[in-house]
Structure 1
Amino acid sequence: MNITPKTDRARQPGTRDASKFTEATRVPLWDPEVDDILVCRQVRQETHDVKTFVFSAREPRAFRFYPGQFMTFELPVEGMVSRCYTISGSAARPYRIEITVKRVPGGPASNWLHDYMIPGKEVTVSGPAGEFTTDATADKKLLFISAGSGITPLMSMTRTACDLSEPTDLHFIHAARTPADLIFHDELSLLISQNPTLKVALTCQASSPSHAWSGFTGRLSLPMLHLMSPDFMDRQIFCCGPGPFMDSVRAMLAEANFDMSNYYEESFDFGAETAGSFDEPADAAPEISDQTFRVSFPKTGHVVECSPGMTILSAARAAGLLPISSCQRGICGTCKSRLISGEVDMQHGGGIRQREIDQGKILICCSTPTSDIEVEI
């Protein structure tokens, strides 16, 4: 009997060549050096003043990011402003970017997003970037603590862990003003039912007439923390929320004699330095001469002397200017400005593309003059 090997058989009508199918449907990676346009695909109302915006690239792209990282959005407000928003979606779902934004009274960027960002609208972005991340699927005990919209990076970490595998041992504490302000409440309940090693505890400062509440009530305190996560002293803690909230968490942990080498936090309060995540060795300091340089800001007419090692952002503040900035480490790109003339030493952390540098743009938070300069901020 003559048997034809399977590899020699002709394809039957209606079948496809798997190798060609794979090649034809391969999705390119998002390249932060080249790609910079996202298209809004969906808007979801999370609470009365919080929305989630879902984006993807113009053409199919796969995003590669760590849960907890952020992207910087350039929004057409008052000319143009840059704002950092944490990616709230799962890193295990690489074909879209989600950000979850609370409407801030008087906040130009958040109000513009809530009022004008609709499906089909495009926005210019940079990133992803950021160091506040962890692997919640690793064999270690974790405790996430968040308040308000500070839930977004920790929700990204939790969603990623649940998508990839069951979290090993994860406790998640979230604080809100009222039950009506609990972001992702229904989704967290679903994740708990599907992942037995995920424990979630919620607390609200006050009740809400429109929402029944039988959980913890009041501000997060040390006795409450003991009830929510009895073994918190043995865990790595990741915290994100408003500055005063994180201050109170640090004070609470200090009172408990918690080992703060196991504590990491993140904040994007504009004008404040971003709190660190993992400690990393500092880069070698650049050589600093004893020469001062003139820094001119033509838009305002200010001219200041910049001392050795002083950044342009510090010089601007010394002149009484208040340029928008966030991380102060050259990561977020919020303080991107145009260098009109002169030379600088810029030690950035990825918050600016090479093509933007070629166009004369700099990050003033991490640039020190090496000559007299003019900067448009």
Structure 2
Amino acid sequence: MDAPVIAAPTGYRLFDPEEDDVLVCRAVREETHDVKTFVFAPRSNRRFAFEPGQFMTFEFEIGGEAIYRCYTLSGTPTRPDTCSITVKRVPGGPVSNWLHDSFRPGMMLKATAPMGEFSWSRHPSAANKYLLLSGGSGVTPMMAMVRSAYDLAEIRDTVFVHAARTPADIVFRDELDMMARRNRSIRVAHVCEADAPHETWTGLRGRLSLPALEALVPDFRTREVFVCGPSPFMAAVRALLGAAGFDMARHHEESFNFEELSGAEQAEVAEATDDMAPAVRTFRIEFAKTRRVVDCPEDLSILEAAKRAGMRLPSSCTKGLCGTCKSKKVSGEVAMTHQGGIRQREIDAGQILICCSKPLSDVVIER
């Protein structure tokens, strides 16, 4: 049973970033001591249509600089007048701290259309049984899925297991418990590593393990499994499911990590390094603001070359899809093959996605 994409009713048009990509903040809600939800609406008479679990790429103007970040939509397509993102404050994180400290209702930002394949709409369970496993802020796509099932009164056998440091860190705790009480096809379990300052945790303690999973969800091997959270959490879940003999074709995961190379990107870098021939031309890539210069072979993307040189640059999908690595090209020529993460008017203005741009000459990037 697929969760539908909600179409705009008569009299409304869908949010279209090609026509107007500005969103207005309607509300800011405190979820925990370090997590807030930001609710947005189009500034024109528009509505959203998306699949629960999809993400949007947002453009933040911070200190005179445009910074791009992907955030999963924590809201549900069954409430199409608004969309929302839920953001945890990260020590030293330029975007999360700015949002928590400075962003207020009435302020505006720009965004792309919803995108992504991490949704139970894309991976239906033949048995109509689902297991959602999240750690930390990985709760957001799971929340979108559960909210959509609850709003539509679906009989979708769903178990949602969320891992947190303490009970004070459980995001959406009250709402999840309420949905589970009122829709018996939804079951919720929390796992905490320690007590909170003002609450002793009486539930399952420690980290998610195979014995814990078997106790919470004895039939997990028969379910479609969705996982989202920090990289170590997802790696532990993959190992746990593999050891349990789970059919990994029914395992799906999502993560946006702006600090680490993805496995696919690491493999591409290694392959490119091993196979590089002496005849390959190398070009000079200059990053104007940081005054860094790297050499980039013509068969590597600019992002790959920069990361091999030790630079940390915002990136996520590495496929030209999300737009996180969007940068202004000051001079030079590149060959860019993207998958929708950049609009034509941005290309015309000199923007490129460095994850899918390979140099055709020396290039200067405004970053």
TM over 0.5: yes
Is residue 34 of structure 1 aligned with residue 19 of structure 2? yes
Shift of 1:208: 2.1
Secondary structure (helix, strand or coil) at the match of 1:190 reads: helix
Q: 1:363 aligns with which of 320, 328, 353?
A: 353
CA contact (8 A) 1:297 1:374 kept: yes
Counterparts of 1:64 and 1:313 in 2: how far apart (Å)?
32
Shift of 1:272: 2.9
Secondary structure (helix, strand or coil) at the match of 2:113 reads: strand
Q: 1:72 aligns with which of 31, 53, 57?
A: 57
Pair 292,151 (structure 1): closer, same or farther in 2 beyond 3 Å: same
Q: 1:269 aligns with which of 248, 257, 275?
A: 257
Q: 2:44 aligns with which of 59, 68, 72?
A: 59
Is residue 47 of structure 1 aligned with residue 4 of structure 2? no
Secondary structure (helix, strand or coil) at the match of 1:88 reads: coil
Alignment-mate amino acid for residue 281 of structure 2: T
Is residue 91 of structure 1 aligned with residue 91 of structure 2? no
Q: 2:153 aligns with which of 162, 165, 188?
A: 165
Q: CA RMSD of the aligned region, Å?
A: 2.4
Counterparts of 1:320 and 1:201 in 2: how far apart (Å)?
41
CA contact (8 A) 1:129 1:350 kept: no
Q: 2:338 — aligned with what?
A: 348
Is residue 185 of structure 1 aligned with residue 173 of structure 2? yes
The answer to which of 219-228 and 207-216 deviates more is 207-216
Pair 295,134 (structure 1): closer, same or farther in 2 beyond 3 Å: farther
Alignment-mate amino acid for residue 176 of structure 2: L
Secondary structure (helix, strand or coil) at the match of 2:114 reads: strand
Counterparts of 2:19 and 2:198 in 1: how far apart (Å)?
48
Alignment-mate amino acid for residue 376 of structure 1: E
Alignment-mate amino acid for residue 43 of structure 1: V
CA contact (8 A) 2:124 2:224 kept: no
Pair 362,212 (structure 1): closer, same or farther in 2 beyond 3 Å: same
Q: 2:281 — aligned with what?
A: 292
Q: 2:209 aligns with which of 221, 226, 231?
A: 221
Alignment-mate amino acid for residue 165 of structure 1: A
Counterparts of 2:155 and 2:164 in 1: how far apart (Å)?
24
Structure 1 unmatched ranges of 5 or more? 1-23, 277-287
Shift of 1:176: 0.7
Pair 157,295 (structure 1): closer, same or farther in 2 beyond 3 Å: farther
CA contact (8 A) 1:329 1:348 kept: yes
Is residue 143 of structure 1 aligned with residue 128 of structure 2? no
CA contact (8 A) 2:16 2:113 kept: no
Structure 2 unmatched ranges of 5 or more? 1-8, 265-275
Is residue 107 of structure 1 aligned with residue 100 of structure 2? no
Q: Percent identity?
A: 52
Shift of 1:88: 0.2
Q: 2:112 — aligned with what?
A: 126
Counterparts of 2:221 and 2:307 in 1: how far apart (Å)?
41
Alignment-mate amino acid for residue 202 of structure 1: H
Counterparts of 1:123 and 1:180 in 2: how far apart (Å)?
30
CA contact (8 A) 1:32 1:128 kept: no
Counterparts of 2:354 and 2:198 in 1: how far apart (Å)?
47
Counterparts of 2:198 and 2:330 in 1: how far apart (Å)?
55
Shift of 1:196: 1.0
Alignment-mate amino acid for residue 185 of structure 2: T
Q: 1:329 aligns with which of 319, 332, 335?
A: 319
Counterparts of 2:232 and 2:149 in 1: how far apart (Å)?
29
Secondary structure (helix, strand or coil) at the match of 1:43 reads: strand
Shift of 1:349: 2.0
Secondary structure (helix, strand or coil) at the match of 2:47 reads: coil
Counterparts of 1:351 and 1:156 in 2: how far apart (Å)?
22
Counterparts of 1:98 and 1:233 in 2: how far apart (Å)?
32
Counterparts of 2:70 and 2:287 in 1: how far apart (Å)?
27
In our comparison, the structure showing a higher alpha carbon Rg is 1
Query: How many pairs align?
Result: 344
Pair 295,165 (structure 1): closer, same or farther in 2 beyond 3 Å: farther
Counterparts of 1:65 and 1:89 in 2: how far apart (Å)?
10
Q: 1:243 — aligned with what?
A: 231
Scaled by the length of structure 2, what TM-score is found? 0.87
Residue by residue over 1:105-141, the C-alpha shift from the partner in whole angstroms, topping out at 9 and shown as x without a partner, is: 2211111101111111111222322221112886522
